[in-house]
Amino acid sequence: MNTSAIIFYAISALILGAAILAVSTLKIFRSAIWLLFSLVGIAALYFWMQVEFIAAIQIVVYVGGIVVLIIFSIFLTQQSGKEMTKPATSKIIFSSLAALFGTAFTFNLINHYGFDTSSAQPFNNSVSEIGTQMLSTTSYGFILPFEVVSMLLLAAMVGCIVIAMKPTTANIIQLNKKED
């Protein structure tokens, strides 16, 4: 095993470990922090693949945008420090089975189709080429995913605003009735 493989497995372990902790912790703020570490690990994987521009976009959009919006919305809610309720055992079993099925399906696809280890042409990852392809409407253009990312950011911002809204008096009355 060479150094490159060791680095890949270390980054992969960081991503998977942080992702498991993000979905399994009972404190919502800690969950957001583990999500941050998982997304930074994905950026590290992009750096390892020598696609620096995509790694920078990963950090700016997801780490700098989405996670910061999530953390702000957590802080703006009134119950940000409380522990979340533990999920039911049936939900844990179902989600574990779904994860195992998804993993088995992915490995089956990889083994069935395979990937060539060498390519005839080197990968062109210059910023000008990436910018041209991102804004191109041709068959190799990425304008649609570029617009989808902007919609994702807009949806995240609207979601944070909705979460951060103060409860109305009707909601307070309903909460008081539930406590009684």
User: At 27, phi and psi to the nearest 5?
Assistant: -100, 125
In this structure, what token pair is assigned to residue 131?
């910018």
- Give 72's Cβ-side CA count (13 Å radius): 15
CA 79, 73, 158, 52 dihedral sign is: negative
Coil, strand or helix at 27: strand
CA-CA distance, 70 to 86, in Å (whole number)? Answer: 21
List CB contacts of 48: < 8 A, sequence separation 6 or more: 4, 7, 8, 11
Distance CA 21, CA 75 (A): 20
> How much is the pLDDT for 141?
75
Residue pair 27/84 in contact (Cβ under 8 Å)? The answer is yes
Q: What is the pLDDT of residue 136?
A: 79
Q: Measured at the alpha carbon of residue 20, what is the angle toward residues 18 and 24, in degrees to the nearest 5?
A: 115
Please report the pLDDT score of residue 30 as a whole number.
Answer: 87
Tokens of 107: 């490995």
What pLDDT, on a 0 to 100 scale, did the predictor assign at position 164?
A: 66
pLDDT of amino acid 134: 74
Each residue's pLDDT, cut to its tens digit, for the chain (180 residues) gives 899 889 999 999 999 999 989 888 888 888 889 999 999 999 999 999 888 888 888 898 888 888 887 887 777 766 666 777 787 888 889 988 998 998 899 888 888 887 666 666 666 767 787 777 777 777 777 777 778 878 887 887 787 777 666 665 556 666 666 666
Q: What domains does the chain contain, in order, with CATH numbers? A: 1-82+126-168 (1.20.120.1200)
